[in-house]
Chains A and B, each alone.
Chain A
Amino acid sequence: MTTTSQTNMNKQSPGRLRAFLAGIGNVDRRWIFLSMALAVGVPILLKLRFPEVPGPMAKATFDAVESIPEGSRVLLSFDYDPASAGELQPMANALVYHCASRHHRIVFMALWPLGKQMADKTIKDVLLEFHHEYKYGVDYVQLGYKAGNEGVIKLMTTNIPGQYPTDADGAALSKMPIVADAADLRAFKFIGSFSAGFPGAKEWVQYAKGNTPDAFKVVGGSTGVQVSQLLPYYPKQMEGLLVAIKGAAEYEMLVTSKYPTSHYADRLEEGRRRMGPQLVAHLLMIGLIVLGNVAMIAGRGMKGGAR
């Protein structure tokens, strides 16, 4: 009796295992959602951190900011909205901090309607937090959002005062030393665009860099999804490129190791902080893909057995 049942069990076990594995392929997607929530949430709560080694693109971005003379006039365009702030805000924070550490004069603008708020947040949380000496109108200015997508860039290549007679608050730019003599984009040594889509870094390359290739350096900050559209421009037409959180984390490392902050700055460690959850989430994805394939193979085996 015992022997018979054991034999049956031995016969059934591989079948059950196979059925179980095949069943994983049809698992309710809510289990996947739950595991992803844990993969992201637990590392955040445990503050998991991993060392980052700067890659060539982050180094190129760092070098682009370093290569222009101290105190140069730079233009930073915030071409994203809160939806992509998770990916782009850390690199925006680091780049603004880097520019301010080099005493560059920063002109903020936005091609996305909600980009202005993103820039305001960066000014408040990073620029004025670490560089109290920065004076509005002299060391930095906020041009705000301007409708017209790539048309705004095109017009800026020939006529900035015509396009922007006032700043975001309606104050005359002609009275502000930082931009009073800026006739067109050649007045800048560096242009950075944090870009979540259209219009963004691609348009800055096509319409600004394409018009005057040698006048200034262009650097793009991109979400992971959009980067494939920017890669063709790097490094010839775009001197630096930061890709998603990984790029931000690498760049943060470069910036804060050369220009240590005066006090603790979680805002300048956001990229590195978010790499912990990203690693675990990526491992989960790999695990899920492996599981999916095991389920598929097990399912094939079952069908084969039935035949």
Chain B
Amino acid sequence: MMNALALRWAFRTMAAAMLSANAGALAMPPAPTNVVATDRPGDGGGAVMLQWTAPAPSEVKEARIERSATAAELKASAPNSAAWISVASAPTLAGEGLGFEITDLPPSAANKSSTDQLVFRVAFLGTDGEMSAFTDSNTVVGVANIFLAKKLGLAVSLVLVCGSVILWILLARAGRSVKIRRIAALDAVDEAIGRATEMGRPVLFVPGIQDMTDIQTVAGVTILGRVAKTAAEYDATLEVPTCRSIVMSACRDTVQAAHFGAGRPETYREANINYITDEQFGYVAYVAGRMVREKPAACFYMGAFYAESLVLAENGNAVGAIQIAGTAEPSQLPFFVAACDYTLIGEEFLAASAYLSGERDQLGSIKGQDLGKLIAVMVILVGCVLATVAAFAPEGASARASAAFQNFLGG
């Protein structure tokens, strides 16, 4: 009995000595344990989260991750090629917590919104370059979810902004007083058209150089409706050269409607609303030439403008026209401010149509927009405070809160 025990002890000691000698030479890291693969929630498919138990950082350098090849990949590749495909290397600790994200997995041939059944395997790379054995994960399928979680912040913002606009529309309908500050540029519309009528010179309206897909063009065309109505009432000639065919068509409809609205359908002249060219500077050359020859008494620039803004505004200034501009192109605002009598800056321009209509519903929507602005200011303040505190304590809870907040807002 004693002999048997002694023999077993001797064998164990020898084996331990051999193992430790081996370890000293190769330092093979331990194989990963608890490798679990799960579908990434709230994504568009093709992503999987991988978790494993992380070893001590001194033992391993990184984790090597491979996945099983899909049937289509095996069919396409050469015979006897590897059934495993390397997908990523990860810092070893990344397997903890939420897990390591594997993205851009190939979609299944049968269903583009999910992957085939996949198995992942993970091995550790030791500090001296030795690889551990691989450990397989469970089988997993990366499925697309109905809602993209990364857009949650945007969805919440959308609901808040639209909600505040709708809330104020309802409040305005219910009789709540809606006070909007006076916008000098819009109050000057009547004066400008009146002056043109007195001088017997035309009114020029330029609805920008973009198509109807640009919201600024839509805003410009809605303002055109008001300008055209006043021009019809004053019996002033309104000219609208356009840069896009569809804009021409929309402008004709709008001006015609304005003439009907003013009770003077007979004064509508379709020939005054023309398509010139899609080419930016060709269009500008035409409009500038027209200004110099016809000398309009009032010029309106309402829409999306680029480098042509100053050429138009300076020519208008040279012929002595009253000029009112409006655009949401931030880079062109300084030029309009310098060369025009009045400029609608960004949101003023977009609110102009509602302001001019004078309808309670539409004025309420401007008030709602202001509420949205208040929400934006609060979000900025919270973000600034969080980011500032996080800068002083990069490892603390505030840093995590700051990162989570940024992540929620889509950044």
Contact = CB atoms under 8 A, between A and B. Distances in A.
Touch test A–B (CB under 8 Å): yes
Interface of A: 29, 81, 83-84, 186, 196-198, 223, 225-226, 228-229
A226 B331 contact: yes
21 contacts: A29-B318, A81-B280, A83-B280, A83-B281, A83-B307, A84-B307, A186-B104, A196-B306, A196-B307, A197-B306, A197-B307, A198-B306, A223-B307, A225-B307, A225-B331, A225-B332, A226-B331, A228-B330, A228-B331, A229-B330, A229-B331
A2 to B, nearest CB: 47
Contacts of B331: 225-226, 228-229
Interface in B297-349: 306-307, 318, 330-332
Contacts of B281: 83
Interface residues of B, number: 9
Contacts of A29: 318
B151 to A, nearest CB: 12
Contacts of B307: 83-84, 196-197, 223, 225
Interface of B is mostly: helix
Contacts, number: 21
A225 B335 CA distance: 10
Contacts of A83: 280-281, 307
Given A225-B331, A225-B332, 19 more contacts: A29-B318, A81-B280, A83-B280, A83-B281, A83-B307, A84-B307, A186-B104, A196-B306, A196-B307, A197-B306, A197-B307, A198-B306, A223-B307, A225-B307, A226-B331, A228-B330, A228-B331, A229-B330, A229-B331
Nearest to A81: B280
A15 B271 CA distance: 54
Nearest to A197: B306
A187 to B, nearest CB: 12
A16 B318 CA distance: 27
Contacts of A84: 307
Contacts of A229: 330-331
Contacts of B330: 228-229
Nearest to A226: B331
B385 to A, nearest CB: 20
A165 to B, nearest CB: 19
Nearest to A149: B213
B181 to A, nearest CB: 26
A100 B93 CA distance: 40
Contacts of A186: 104
Nearest to A84: B307
A186 B307 CA distance: 34
A186 B104 CA distance: 11
A228 B331 CA distance: 7
Interface string B277-295: 0001100000000000000
A241 B281 CA distance: 26
B290 to A, nearest CB: 19
Nearest to A210: B410
B405 to A, nearest CB: 17
Contacts of A223: 307
Name the 6 nearest CB pairs between A and B, nearest first.
A197-B306, A225-B331, A226-B331, A228-B331, A83-B281, A229-B331
Nearest to A184: B104
Contacts of A228: 330-331
Contacts of B104: 186
A196 B280 CA distance: 12
